[in-house]
Amino acid sequence: MRTKLYVLYGGKSVEHEISLKTAVTVLGSIDESRFEIYPVYITREGLWCTPEQLTQKELTAEHLIAEPKFHDPARSIGEILSGVMAMSGAKVVLPLLHGPNGEDGTVQGLLELLNVPYVGNGVLASALTLDKAMSKHVLAQAGIHQTEYLACRYEEWRTDENMLLLKAEESIGYPCYVKPASLGSSIGISRCTNRVELIAGIHEAFSYDQKLVIEREVIGREIQVAVMGNGKPVASLPGEFIHDHIFFNYESKYMDKRLTMSIPAELPEDLTQGIRTLAIQAYQAHGCEGLARVDFFLDGEGRLYLNEINALPGFTNFSMYPVMWERTDGTSYSELIEHLIGHAISRHEDKQTIQYKK
C-alpha cells in the first residue's frame, strides 16, 4: 500500500506566499505510485482545511488555497486531525511552512504529540534556527566565527531608545543590518548607513517581531551549503547567487530574473571542504535533523563568517537547496524529497525505542 503523505503549507506567517510556491513545486514532484498525497492548507488566520482533489497538472498556488469549514482554529485543526490524518496505514507529514507558526517548532510540537513521522527539524532545532538571536548565541558557544551583532527586545527599545541607538553605533557601527529575529526571506530587513535609517529599520523590524538583531555589514560573497541527514549529516558542494545587489532583499531573491546560480561556487578546494565541514558543525550545534541550508559570508580577505541557518530552505524552482544536491551527486528533485521522507521515518522509528516508564 502507498504511504499517506500529508503536506502542510500556507500558514499564519508573512511568508505565506513563499510556502504556496514551495508547495506547488513539491506536490508536482512527488511519486504518486509510492505516496498517497493529502494537501492541508493553513490560512493566514491559522485555520486548517483541505483543497479540492487536484491532479499534478492542475497544480497552481491559487488552486491550493481552500476555504475552511470552521472559523475557529481549534475546530478546524480538530477536523483535519480526526479526519484525513486519522486514517489507518503508514503515514508521514511534510511541513512546508516558512516562518513563525510552522518553522519555529510550534507545528513540530503538535506532530510530536501525534507521534507521527515528519520531515525536517524537531522542536528545539526549529525554534533555535528561526530565532536569529538564539542561533547566534549557539554559534558563539560552538566557537563558530560570525559578524558582530546586537540583539534587542521591543520592551528594551520602548524603555530607552537612545541607549540602544548609542549601543548599536558604538559596538556595530555603519553600515549595519536590522533584522526581525524570527523571520526569513529577507522580509523586514533594512540596510542602514546612518541614525535616521537605523531608527526606521528598527521600527520596520519590530512591526514583524518582538525581537530584532542588528549586525555589522560584511562586504563579500554569500556562500550557501545544503546539509541533510540525522545522526551522520552530509553537506553539498557550496553555491552562490551571482548578482549585483548591495542588499539581497526579498525583491532581489524572488523577482530578479537576472539571478544566476554558481554551483559549485568558484572556491579553492581547501576552502570548499572547510566550508562543508563548518556547515555540518553548525548544523549539529543546533541539533538539526533532516535538512537545513547554512549560509556564509566570505569577505575580500578570505575570512569566513557564518550568517545564518535556514531549517526549512525554499524548494521552489529558483531555490538553491535542491539544485545544490543535484550538482553535488546527481540527486533529482523527486529523489531529494524521498530522501528527506526516509530520514523522517528513520528518526521516528528510532524514537519508538525510548522508554516512558520504569
What distances in angstroms separate CA 252 from CA 191, 207, 242, 263, 316, one per listed residue? 14, 21, 11, 19, 15
Task: Name the class of domain 148-216.
Answer: alpha beta
Cell digits for 32? 504518486
Tell me phi and psi for residue 103, to 5 degrees: -100, 0
For domain 3-118, give the CATH number: 3.40.50.20
Q: Residue 237, Cβ neighbours under 10 Å: how many?
A: 18
User: Does residue 123 have a pLDDT over 80?
Assistant: yes
The whole-number average pLDDT for the span 167-171 is 95
| Residue 310 marked as a ligand binder | yes
Residue 307 assigned to a binding site: no
Positions annotated as catalytic residues are 15, 185, 319
70, 81, 2: which is closest to 40 by C-alpha?
81
| Band (245; pLDDT cuts 50, 70, 90) | low
Do the annotations mark residue 72 as ligand-binding? Answer: no
Separation in Å, CA 324 to CA 42, 232, 249, 345? 29, 19, 21, 23
Q: How confident is the model at residue 252 (pLDDT cuts 50, 70, 90)?
A: low
339-354 pLDDT per residue, tens: 999 999 999 999 999 8
Other residues' Cβ atoms within 10 Å of the Cβ of residue 172: 21
Mean pLDDT taken over the chain: 91
Q: Which residue has the cell 529523489?
A: 335
As a whole number of Å, the end-to-end CA separation of the chain is 36
Does the reported pTM lie above 0.85?
A: yes
Question: What is the enclosing helix (H) or strand (E) of 222?
Answer: strand 220-229
CATH class of 220-350: alpha beta
Q: Domain limits of the chain?
A: 3-118, 148-216, 220-350
Residues 182-192 as b or e (16 or more Cβ within 10 Å = b): bbbbbbbbbeb
